[in-house]
Amino acid sequence: MEKVKKNAQVAQKTRKAAAAMLCLLSLFLFLLSSRGEDAVPTATTVNENGPLLALTFDDGPYPKVTTHILDVLEKHGVCATFFVLGSRVEGREEVLLRMEALGCEIGNHTFSHADLTRLSAEQCKEEIDKTNAEFERALGHPASVVRPPYGFYNAAVRKNVPYPLVLWTVDTNDWRPRNVAELADAVVREAEDGCVILMHDQQSSTAEAMDAIIPALVAKGFRFVTVSELIAATDGACKAVKMPGGG
């Protein structure tokens, strides 16, 4: 009788231990899943239905500043578009690969930062094609958008460069060192639905300002997209973009 009672007690203890284990396991699984929900959002999940905004960075890559900007984009789970110079690709392929891995777009900013309006049709095509050849080598595909240096274009450029020409709606003048707080305030103040913000991945003040700009824009409800995503979402009617063949 005593032995049976002991056995029953052992069985009960085992059941209790099993139940406790099960509890711990569910708690662990719950923590694991809720941790997943709280994880840094990806570019596609930040303010999914919010007003659209495209951050753009020109003239790089300059590995120190560009990498800093990529770190900030990754931290906040948003994407941007980098208008890269063909002449700066060689030796910096890893930086370009990281841009794409983070969901960023790489655009063509010519090979030598040329004023395309001063070039012959042939020279114009060469500036674009040589840069796309560098992208093919580094990434396996060409760019699908072009930003003409200085924003200079004319009818001849539009004919000779059969890509969407991406200009901007907000110019930050950040190619020179800027006060970080002032730069951040200006960008946050001027941002509006469908805007394309012109920046450069050259000055460390730009990279530092991004760490304030992104959370402020996220808080205002903005959804960050690449330039090609903005073109698709606006059906080519974005005011900062001149579509090929368009008026």
Q: Which amino acids are annotated catalytic?
A: 58, 200
Residues 36-65 that bind Ni ion (CB under 5 A): 58-59
Query: Nearest distance from residue 200's CB to Ni ion, in Å?
Result: 7
Q: Does 208 bind Ni ion (CB under 5 A)?
A: no
Q: Does 74 bind Ni ion (CB under 5 A)?
A: no
First to last CA, the chain: 98
What DSSP string runs through 126-158? HHHHHHHHHHHHHHSS--S-B--GGG---HHHH
- Do residues 151 and 234 touch, judged by C-beta distance below 8 A? no
- Report the residue number whose CB is nearest to Ni ion: 58
Query: Nearest distance from residue 35's CB to Ni ion, in Å?
Result: 42
**Cα–Cα distance between 61 and 202 in angstroms, integer?**
8
> Which region, judged by CB under 5 A, interacts with Ni ion, from 7-15, 43-51, 146-154, 225-233?
146-154
Phi, psi of 113 (to 5 degrees): 55, 50
Q: Does 105 bind Ni ion (CB under 5 A)?
A: no
Query: Nearest distance from residue 231's CB to Ni ion, in Å?
Result: 20
Query: Nearest distance from residue 243's CB to Ni ion, in Å?
Result: 21
Q: Specify which residues 54 forms β-bridges with.
A: 196
Nearer to Ni ion, 157 or 188 (CB): 157
C-alpha distances in angstroms, 60 versus 112, 185, 201, 210? 11, 24, 6, 16
> Which region, judged by CB under 5 A, interacts with Ni ion, from 18-26, 49-57, 86-94, 141-149?
141-149
**Cα–Cα distance between 213 and 215 in angstroms, integer?**
6
Binding site for Ni ion (CB under 5 A): 58-59, 149
